[in-house]
Structure 1
Amino acid sequence: GSFAVWGGLFSMIDCSMVRMRGKEDPWNSITSGALTGAILAARNGPVAMVGSAAMGGILLALIEGAGILLTRFASTQFPNGPQLPEDPSQLQPTPFSEYRQYQ
């Protein structure tokens, strides 16, 4: 019901923001949450629109902030291993590098 309407409207605004701004960042979600809250409260008047926009923006800011903190915490827990070279010719020779079985 109403959650599907909220989700569809939020996604539509979020995708439009990504297209217009040319980048995908937390500001798109925060703005989308605020605009979705305002649009869905439009029938109740401007005061309700402002309140719902503030709640939507704050809620999405908290969600995005928690996601950023979780990502930073997880990245320190699992450090990256050694980077592999993009070009195989830069690899170190192996003990079997001279052995060519299928030629």
Structure 2
Amino acid sequence: MSRYGDFNRDPCPWVILNDTGGAFSMGAIGGGIWHFVKGAKNSPKGERIIGSIAAVKARSPILGGNFAVWGGLFSTFDCAIKGIRQKEDPWNLIASGFFTGGVLAARGGVGAATRSACFGAIALALIEGVSFAAERFMGPPQMMQVSEMRPPSPSP
């Protein structure tokens, strides 16, 4: 079933918390792997495990926090836009990417916020387009209409 017709999800306040926690976990686990390898590479021989663990402890929570901020903002904007528009379609996600990118870059000024907002919208539009194409390509075949199933009339 398409995610736009999925009514099994929790209501918006809980979705925001779930998405924020999931984004933190994803960032912390991915960051842990990344910084473990990076810490081992940058540590002297004989101290690689200790250097890896130190790098993971120092940097993974930061990356997890960055992911959580992005995920929480995105989910908050998505819920707000759903509430305002009273519909659930790809435009909500694209607009959420736009607003999230703009807010996260707002400290850099109007130009940086605009560029980041446009990048967020384009990235989400590409993701939605690929998702739509994959769903269409991998999904079950379309049902034929009754008019298409009639045998052709015999020609005289």
Which structure has the greater CA radius of gyration? 1
The structure-2 alpha-carbon separation of the partners of 1:54 and 1:80, relative to structure 1 and needing over 3 Å to count, comes to closer
In the alignment, is residue 50 of structure 1 matched against residue 114 of structure 2? yes
CA distance in 1, matches of 2:124, 2:142: 30
Q: What is the CA RMSD across the aligned residues, in angstroms?
A: 1.4
The reply on whether 1:4 has 2:49 as its aligned counterpart is no
Alignment-derived partner of residue 101 in structure 2 = 37
Report the secondary structure of 1:24's partner residue. Answer: coil
Amino acid of the residue matched to residue 11 of structure 1? S
Which residue of structure 1 lines up, in the alignment, with residue 127 of structure 2? 63
Structure 1 residue 79 displacement after superposition: 3.5
Please, what TM-score do these two structures have when normalized by structure 1?
0.73
Q: Between Structure 1 and Structure 2, how many residues are aligned?
A: 79
Identity rate, percent: 54
- TM-score by length of structure 2 reads 0.49
Q: Alpha-carbon deviation of 1:47?
A: 0.5
Alignment gaps of 5+ in structure 1: 82-103
CA-CA distance at 1:23 after TM superposition: 0.5
